[in-house]
Amino acid sequence: MTVLVTGGAGFIGANFIFYWLNAHPGDRMVCLDRLTYAGNLSTLRPVLERPEFRFVKADICDRETLDRLFEEEHPEAVVNFAAESHVDRSIEDPEVFLRTNVMGTAALLDACRKYGTPRFHQVSTDEVYGDLPLDRPELRFTETTNLHASSPYSASKASADLLTLAYCRTYGFPGTISRCSNNYGPCQFPEKLIPLMIANALQNKPLPVYGTGKNVRDWLYVEDHCRAIDLILRKGRIGEVYNIGGDCELENIALVRRICRELGKPESLITYVADRKGHDLRYAIDSGKLRHELGWRPETGFEEGIRNTIRWYLENRDWWVEIISGEYRDYYEKMYGNR
C-alpha cells in the first residue's frame, strides 16, 4: 500500500509517518511538504534514507505537481495534514490560511478524484466547533455540534471540512474527516504552547501566558492521534466525521505550572500577557463515536505523555535551538515582545 502524506514534515504529519512505517512494514510512504516555517526536513531525518520512503518538496496548491506525483505513485490513500495552523498567525495574515487550508484541500480532492484514489482523509481540528463555557463541564463537542469558527484559522479548516463532505455527497468521494483536540509530543514547532514553555523554561526565559491562563484545552498525545487516523482509514465509514480527544482537560496555567515542576523551574518565570483576540474559552471532545465504532481509546496518559515530551526536548536540544535562532525569533518578538 502506498500512502501519500501531505504536510509530513510538520509535527503531527512526521509523527504519523514514523508511526505508519513502524506499524505497517512493507507499505510505501510518500511525503509532500512545502517546507514553510513550520516544516522541518531534519525532523524526518530518521526515515529519509529508507527505501520505502520518498520526500517531495512541493505545494499542495500546485496542481501540475500533484498530477505528476499521482501519476508516478498512484497512492491508495491520501492523508492531508498540510495546513497553516497557528491561530495568532491567522489573525495577522488570514489570506495565507485560506490559500493553503481551503484551496490546497480542493486541489488534493480534485487530484484524488482524477486518479481514482481509493481513500482520502482530511485532518481537521476541534476549533471548528468554536468554544464551550467554563461553567458547563458536562458539555463536549460531538460530531453533530454546529460549526462556529472563532478565528481565520478555524474558519479555513471548517471550510475544508465542508468541501470534503460536499465531495463525498456530490461525487460519492471516498473521504473521511477527523477533528482532534490539542496535540502534544515530540517534534512540535516551538510556537505552540507546550514546546514554547519547555524551550523558554530551559533557557530561564519568561513563560508568556495569555490573559488569566484559565482557558481550558483537551490534550491528546500525538501517537494516540496517529493510531486513530490509522483506524479511520482502514475501518471508518466513508463520508463520516470522527472526533479524537484525549480526555485530559487542563487550564493553560495548570499546564504551565506542571512543566515548571517537571523541569525544576520557578513559577516566577510565568508572565501574563494581553489575551489573544477572540480567544476560545474551552475545548472538550466527545470521542464516543470513535470508541464505539472502531474501538479506539487514548493509551498514553498525560503524566506519561508530558514526561516523554519533555524528555524529547531535553535530548533534542539542537533541533529546537536551530529553529528559535532563525526566522521564528523575529515572529516571537512580534507576538509577545510588547504584550
Residue 59 annotated in active site: no
> Cell triple for residue 74?
498512484
Residue 131 annotated in active site: no
Among 127, 191, 218, 286, the active-site one is 127
Cα angle 226, 229, 231; round to 5: 110
Question: How far apart (Å, rounded) are the C-alpha atoms in residues 320 and 199?
Answer: 8
Q: Where are the beta strands (DSSP E) in the chain?
A: 2-6, 28-33, 53-57, 77-80, 119-125, 175-180, 182-184, 207-210, 216-221, 241-244, 249-251, 270-273
Question: How far apart (Å, rounded) are the C-alpha atoms in residues 225 and 12?
Answer: 8
Q: Which value, in Å, is the radius of gyration of the alpha carbons in the chain?
A: 19
- Reading phi first (left if > 0) and then psi (alpha if -120 to 50, else beta), residue 272 is in beta
Question: How far apart (Å, rounded) are the C-alpha atoms in residues 44 and 55?
Answer: 9
Among 126, 161, 191, 280, the active-site one is 126
Among 33, 84, 153, 280, the active-site one is 153
Residue 127 annotated in active site: yes
Q: Which residues are catalytic?
A: 126-127, 153
